[in-house]
Amino acid sequence: MNPQLEELAFQYALDQLNPSERAAFEARLDHDAALAEWVRELQDAVDRYVRELPRHEPPPGLLARIEARIGHPEVRRNPRSPALWSVVARWGIAAVIAVGVGIIAVQSLRQAPLSAGHSLMVVGLEPHQSTLAELPLLTRPQNADARFIQLASLAEQYWEKPEDLPFKMASSGQGGRGYALFDPSGRESATICGSLTPPRAKSARRGCCP
């Protein structure tokens, strides 16, 4: 490896570059997989160093104090931040987020009558109910990545603008809400949820479904 590049990799892994140097180096990382892998290994070494420090548990009340500072509402977006779908789509993960009711709703879709062709199924998720609708589409992306991005960006759009939904949600969104979109022919789904309480009678699954 070019010694100058190698030195930059070390400095990057140790977070020693200034913002402009960092941006230039990151631009290079985007096109050099071997360099990126090398940097990742160095970062892993730093992480391991940190994890091997003598362990101290934080005080028990710290989480509550942080949450108090976060405040309400639970749902908040930074408009200057990249969209959720763009973060996840970079990985090509087929599903974004599945929380509680989302799983139940998607399961219910399996029994729903699915029309062939250019349509998606949309589920509005609320604490104790879900609402199902079919959304006709004018265009259908031709590849899996583009279809997933379409799903996720629509889910995000509904998150931002519930008034765009093809149905009316029953409540004002108190207690959490979410949207699940399902592409019947592509067998892909995207779900965005926040603070939904799973029904007690059902088992809930939380986490990521790559």
Partner 1 sequence: MPSPPKNAAVIEEACLLARMGVGDREAFRELYSRYSAPLFSLAVRMVGDFGQAEELVQDTFLKIWRNAASFDPRRSRPFTWAVTITRRTCIDHLRKRRHNPVSTSLVPEEDLPREFSSVETVRRSAENSEDNELLRGALAEVPANQRQVLELVLFSEMTQSEIAEHLERPVGTVKSWIRRGLLELRKTLTESPP
- Radius of gyration in angstroms for the set of CA atoms belonging to the chain, rounded to a whole number: 22
- In whole angstroms, how far apart are CA 16 and each of 7, 12, 20? 11, 6, 12
How many residues touch partner 1 under the rule CB under 8 A: the total is: 69
Residue type, 174: Q
Nearer to partner 1, 21 or 41 (CB): 41
Site residues (CB under 8 A) for partner 1, limited to 109-148? none
| 164 touches partner 1 (CB under 8 A) | no
Interface of this chain with partner 1, residues 77 to 116, rule: CB under 8 A: 77-78, 81-84, 87-88, 90-93, 96-97, 99
Which residue intervals of 78-191 are DSSP H helices? Answer: 84-89, 101-111, 144-160
59 binds partner 1 (CB under 8 A): yes
The Cα–Cα gap between 133 and 30 comes to 40
In the set 2, 4, 70, 139, which binds partner 1 (CB under 8 A)?
A: 70
- Cα(172)–Cα(11) distance, integer angstroms: 50
Tell whether residue 200 is a contact of partner 1 (CB under 8 A): no
Distance of CA 107 to the CA centre of its chain: 20
State the minimum distance, in angstroms, from the CB of residue 4 to partner 1.
12
HSE-up of residue 88 (Cα within 13 Å, Cβ side) = 24
- Does position 5 bind partner 1 by CB under 8 A? no
For residue 57, CA distances in Å to 65, 70, 191 come to 16, 21, 34
We find the least distance from the C-beta atom of residue 129 to partner 1, in angstroms, to be 20
Q: Where are the beta strands (DSSP E) in the chain?
A: 98-99, 119-126, 129-136, 177-183, 188-194, 206-207
Site string for partner 1, 38-57 (x = CB under 8 A): --xxxxxxxxxxxxxxxxxx
Stretch of residues binding partner 1 (CB under 8 A), selected from 3-11, 108-116, 118-126, 139-147: 3-11
Does position 203 interact with partner 1 (CB under 8 A)? The reply is: no
Q: Applying CB under 8 A, which residues contact partner 1? A: 6-7, 10, 13-16, 26, 29-31, 33, 36-37, 40-59, 62-63, 65-67, 69-70, 73-78, 81-84, 87-88, 90-93, 96-97, 99, 159, 192-195, 206-208, 210
